[in-house]
Structure 1
Amino acid sequence: MVGTRNRRVSTNASPGQSRLASVAASEIVRVDFGAQGISICPGPEASSGWAIHVMSDIPTDISHDQNAVRRQKLTDLRAAGFDPFRAVCQQTHFSAEATKAYVDGQDYTVPVSVAGRLVTIRDMGKSQFVKILDQQGLIQLYVKKDLVGDEAYVAFKKLDLGDIIGVSGTLFKTKTGEITVRIERYTLVSKALRPLPEKWHGLTDAEQVYRQRYLDLIVNEESRKRLIQRAKIVSAVRRFLEDRSFIEVETPVLQSIAGGAAAKPFVTHHNALGCDFFLRISLELYLKRMLVGGYDRVFEIGRNFRNEGLSRRHNPEFTMLEVYQAYSDHRGMMTLIKDMLTTLCRDVLGTTKIKHAASGQDIDFGGTWREVKYKDLIIEATGDADWFRRSKAEKIAKVEAMGVPVNPAWEDFEITNEIFSKRIEPTLIQPTFVLNLPKELCPLAKISQEDPDTLDVFELTIGGMEIAPAYSEQNDPDVQRTMFEAQAGEEIQNVDQDFLTALEHGMPPAGGMGVGIDRLCILLTGAESIRDVILFPQLRPDTKA
């Protein structure tokens, strides 16, 4: 809104929230409208009229309002002809790289240009020690009035915590041994208009941590390191597979049939095609089409979406690795996953042993990985060698006596699997391959020739949770059709006829495996919840925003 030079200004807000302002344009440079009324800031005459700047109320004394103080500083900078949001700077080194570039005994000889967010200020009068944060961590800067000049030093002292600056200078080591950049010139490249959370208290509200992850990354070093570590884990997985001739592909997220798993999908509508689609619940069926098409080793790291509950181990949007290798089987996948996780631990963590916080055990990825049949674990847990010959009623009575609630409408295999989920899986801390699961649980795997009631599959459990299921993939189209149609459980997936058609063209025998990236990161980083390894987990909309 721009007014003529002698136009008068008024506001019609309610009496308790505003007051009438009536001033000649030659007396002001800005009028600010806020929740409590308007404040008139005197200044040089504006030749083009009045610049009306909408912002929070700035009373006569604004020292108690950090937002207002910071906005006033920005206004002053712009009035002086400098806009930090249009400034740029050069960055030759990240913080850790700059520290490594220092040559011992050669102070003030190695030039660097670094940039980051101002997080610490220590004022010593005619000089200041400050620290900035970039993606590699902190680095200390030293600014001295005699070196940068009076005007630049005065401006530097007006910087606030949270401001982003770029500096150039030379490296030296302080008396305490800290590698520091002596500033020769600096540039403010972004003015923080809101203050950071308190240094010592940080973000104390758990939901705020996830909702405002950007603040959590600034003030919480543990979160920052954990989420950077996640990126390194994903990168290392890619390198591992690519080094073994696996090809990474991308398959559709929008699918006409929610296949590959038994889960409730999210539904969306495609306007141009005039039909509904599902956000995928699994990567599997399209990757197997790639096997039919001649890609012998293929993988995808992608998002799946399941319209189900949230928990410490479940998020509606999650990341999966699925990998398929022609002319292999579930035993080949055993070798692959053991080599992969051992390599990840060595290359990313620097050790093959990690601490499992809940149990206090050291998980040893470099040791022997246990192999045990699903049926043997059930018999051991129930103490009943005849468990798999018991009637459904007998099983329900036994399970309830164990303190595991079940739904009487469940099928036999679901009752048995509840024992595994509640009483067995949480105890499997060391790497354990659970073999030969019931055929009803996995309609996409080959039936075991040794025990036709089970499948040639394994479920890798580490730290008390499933990390990677793997199959000898079913490639007989007729058997696959029968298994699809007989699939049991609360949610029956539609039969994907196009996938069955692809199988009829011939798919080579193959081993296939899925790895939950989020769960893997929980395990390797020691996180307490899946939300701690996802940058922006799902939350209800913030109605207070």
Structure 2
Amino acid sequence: MAEESRESLEAVRLEKLRRIAALGIDPWGQRFDDHQAIAAVRALPLPEVVEGAEPEAGPKVRIAGRIMLRRGQGKVVFLDVRDWTERIQVFVGKKQVGDAAWALVDLLDLGDIVGVDGHLGRTKTGELTVFAEGLTFLSKSLLPPPEKWHGLTDLEQRYRRRYVDLFTNPESLQTFLGRSKIISAFRRIMGEKGFAEVETPTMQAIAGGAAARPFVTHHNALDIDLFLRIAPELYLKRLLVGGMERVFEIGRVYRNEGISPKHNPEFTMLEAYQAYGDYHSMMDLTESLICGSIEAIGGGYRRPWGETTIDFTPPWPRRTYAELLAEHAGVDPADFATIKAKAEEVGLSTAGKDPDVVTSELFEEVVEDRLKGPVFVIDYPAAICPLTKRKASNPAVAERFELFVEGMELANAYTELNDPMLQEELFKSQLAGLPAEESMAKMDDDFVRALKHAMPPAGGLGIGIDRLCMILMNRQSIRDVILFPLMRPAASGGPAPGEAGAAPPA
């Protein structure tokens, strides 16, 4: 919509705002107590229709919501009103609401927020309707909603103007309400299993707990650089040392990396640690959390994903890293010559790289996309797992798993390394040659000191909540499940949602 057109539409609405105030009505509304969710109203029973008898009025109701459609003329107007649970048609007649409320009707625009008192019933065409007996103005919309009555369709605008996306696209709103249910289910399940929810620093003097490039900020009063955390891991393990035996945190983490349908630089994780557990304990916990979240949002264990279906019915298979590499890459995991040849065949660079790094890159390139899952991939090469306990029967293998669904890693877990001397040695070997801007490019001496006070054997788990929501809510981009994803700044002004157009018939 052209800038001048948008300004003229806003000017018309501003004039209506003035006229509403002139009627003695606060155009920004007041509290509106005791209103009912529209979904609950739609579920109310109506009196049975008796043939030949005058139909009984339905139950008294009180609703509040945004006007999404308007049609009718003369002394009768139909409105479609939507709240965050549902939509319903509202019949507004001059005779029923009285002259004072009717004076307001001509000043109503799409996007305005109103309260309605009335009774529930059906029109002659059978449409469930609130027959208004009172109308309360609650807030004026000075900008028009999108042109198309069915919602904001431009993807970039949906991400940039999420506030419009939510009230014009019910499926988007339901996605985020579903996300909320998933996170609530996580908290409930963790509490039932005896875990304490904690909070650890999001600004850290040393970036650690994962291999990633951090965001850097500066604290003026202390005159020091700090890092937005890439993981809460090392602080949560300190709590195990302190005697907090089961801890978890749900929070934001930040990684200064690329943006894609599967990656956002700011994302949400659940991270948990359980004293006296191991990575098998974490597999059981992961199944409980995800199955519990599926039960919370409903729809069953068989979930649609694009044109296919994912079956989350537990228990989920557990496959070793080595057997999957042999199955999908056709190489012997113990034979680096065949691994190197295969890596070069698929276009990977191998020069000067550690054999385990080459193996890991080959696994990512050839195997991960083929893991439809859900499947636990277990027993990773120890050299790429510096915070993980080794298998007693084979020190070259780390007790680690990753959960894959449709080629995406949803969870990562270890039997945690609690040997301070080995941890210090692994830190030093990992730090050697790392560029200064990479995470863990500085030794966290205090973490090693904490381990020297004895950390109990433990299992640790991280679950990417955004990716899990993508999968469970059948959304193909991570931006669809993050309310305000990071985006390149828009050009000045940018396109605005246009005036709403014609509505479909009632």
**1:63 to 1:152, Cα distance in 2 relative to 1, 3 A:** farther
Partner residue, 1:517: 465
Task: Report the number of matched residues.
Answer: 480
Q: Structure 1 length normalisation: TM-score?
A: 0.83
Instruction: Determine whether 1:415 maps to 2:358.
Output: yes
Question: What is the distance in 2 between the residues matched to 1:260 and 1:486?
Answer: 15
Partner SS, residue 172 of structure 1 = strand
User: Is the Cα contact below 8 Å between 1:291 and 1:507 reproduced in 2?
Assistant: yes
Q: Which of 352, 361, 380 is the matching residue for 2:327?
A: 380
**1:514 to 1:104, Cα distance in 2 relative to 1, 3 A:** farther
What's the Cα RMSD here?
Answer: 2.2
Instruction: Determine whether 1:209 maps to 2:158.
Output: yes
Q: Which moved more, 1:315-324 or 1:223-232?
A: 223-232
Q: Which of 101, 106, 110 is the matching residue for 2:59?
A: 110
State the AA in 2 paired with 1:456.
E
Gaps of 5+ in 2: 49-54, 494-506
Q: How does 1:274-423 map to 2 (within 5 A)?
A: 274-357=223-306, 360-385=307-332, 387-391=333-337, 395-401=339-345, 403-406=346-349, 408-423=351-366
Question: What is the distance in 2 between the residues matched to 1:177 and 1:479?
Answer: 74
Q: Which moved more, 1:488-497 or 1:219-228?
A: 488-497
Question: What is the distance in 2 between the residues matched to 1:479 and 1:95?
Answer: 60
**1:368 to 1:240, Cα distance in 2 relative to 1, 3 A:** closer
Bigger Rg, which one: 1
Question: What is the distance in 2 between the residues matched to 1:83 and 1:124?
Answer: 25
Q: Which moved more, 1:340-349 or 1:255-264?
A: 340-349
Question: What is the distance in 1 between the residues matched to 2:350 and 2:56?
Answer: 73
Partner residue, 1:482: 425
**Superposed displacement of residue 217, structure 1:** 0.9
Partner SS, residue 443 of structure 1 = coil
User: Is the Cα contact below 8 Å between 1:259 and 1:281 reproduced in 2?
Assistant: yes
Partner residue, 1:466: 409
State the AA in 1 paired with 2:418.
N
Q: How does 1:227-306 map to 2 (within 5 A)?
A: 227-306=176-255
State the AA in 2 paired with 1:434.
V
Question: What is the distance in 1 between the residues matched to 2:483 and 2:304?
Answer: 23
What's the CA shift string for 1:378-423, capped at 9, x where partnerless?
22233233x43334xx64442232x343353433222211221121
Instruction: Determine whether 1:498 maps to 2:446.
Output: yes
Question: What is the distance in 1 between the residues matched to 2:15 and 2:128?
Answer: 34
Identity %: 45
Q: Which of 409, 424, 427 is the matching residue for 2:367?
A: 424
Q: Which moved more, 1:165-174 or 1:222-231?
A: 165-174
Partner SS, residue 508 of structure 1 = coil
Partner residue, 2:501: none
Partner residue, 1:155: 104
State the AA in 2 paired with 1:398.
K
Partner SS, residue 454 of structure 1 = strand
Question: What is the distance in 2 between the residues matched to 1:107 and 1:128?
Answer: 22
Partner SS, residue 415 of structure 1 = helix
**Superposed displacement of residue 506, structure 1:** 1.4
User: Is the Cα contact below 8 Å between 2:25 and 2:137 reproduced in 1?
Assistant: no
Partner residue, 2:499: none
State the AA in 2 paired with 1:90.
D
What's the CA shift string for 1:462-493, capped at 9, x where partnerless?
12111111111111111111111122677461
**Superposed displacement of residue 283, structure 1:** 1.2
Instruction: Determine whether 1:542 maps to 2:502.
Output: no
Q: Which of 453, 459, 483 is the matching residue for 2:396?
A: 453
State the AA in 2 paired with 1:388.
A
User: Is the Cα contact below 8 Å between 1:90 and 1:113 reproduced in 2?
Assistant: no
User: Is the Cα contact below 8 Å between 1:236 and 1:348 reproduced in 2?
Assistant: no
**1:449 to 1:538, Cα distance in 2 relative to 1, 3 A:** same
Question: What is the distance in 2 between the residues matched to 1:186 and 1:302?
Answer: 42
Q: How does 1:22-33 map to 2 (within 5 A)?
A: none
State the AA in 2 paired with 1:242.
G
**Superposed displacement of residue 502, structure 1:** 1.3
User: Is the Cα contact below 8 Å between 2:20 and 2:107 reproduced in 1?
Assistant: no
**Superposed displacement of residue 121, structure 1:** 1.1
User: Is the Cα contact below 8 Å between 2:207 and 2:439 reproduced in 1?
Assistant: no
**Superposed displacement of residue 151, structure 1:** 4.0
User: Is the Cα contact below 8 Å between 1:437 and 1:457 reproduced in 2?
Assistant: yes
**1:324 to 1:351, Cα distance in 2 relative to 1, 3 A:** same
Question: What is the distance in 1 between the residues matched to 2:135 and 2:29?
Answer: 15
Large movers: runs of 4+ above 6 Å: none
User: Is the Cα contact below 8 Å between 1:102 and 1:179 reproduced in 2?
Assistant: no
Partner residue, 1:8: none
Q: Which moved more, 1:199-208 or 1:456-465?
A: 199-208
User: Is the Cα contact below 8 Å between 1:145 and 1:153 reproduced in 2?
Assistant: yes
Question: What is the distance in 2 between the residues matched to 1:203 and 1:139?
Answer: 20
**1:194 to 1:320, Cα distance in 2 relative to 1, 3 A:** same
**1:104 to 1:400, Cα distance in 2 relative to 1, 3 A:** farther
**Superposed displacement of residue 63, structure 1:** 12
User: Is the Cα contact below 8 Å between 2:214 and 2:439 reproduced in 1?
Assistant: no
State the AA in 1 paired with 2:468.
L
Q: Structure 2 length normalisation: TM-score?
A: 0.90
**Superposed displacement of residue 112, structure 1:** 2.2
What's the CA shift string for 1:36-82, capped at 9, x where partnerless?
xxxxxxxxxxxxxxxxxxxx98xxxx999322211111122233433
State the AA in 1 paired with 2:296.
D
User: Is the Cα contact below 8 Å between 1:118 and 1:160 reproduced in 2?
Assistant: yes
Question: What is the distance in 1 between the residues matched to 2:26 and 2:276?
Answer: 63
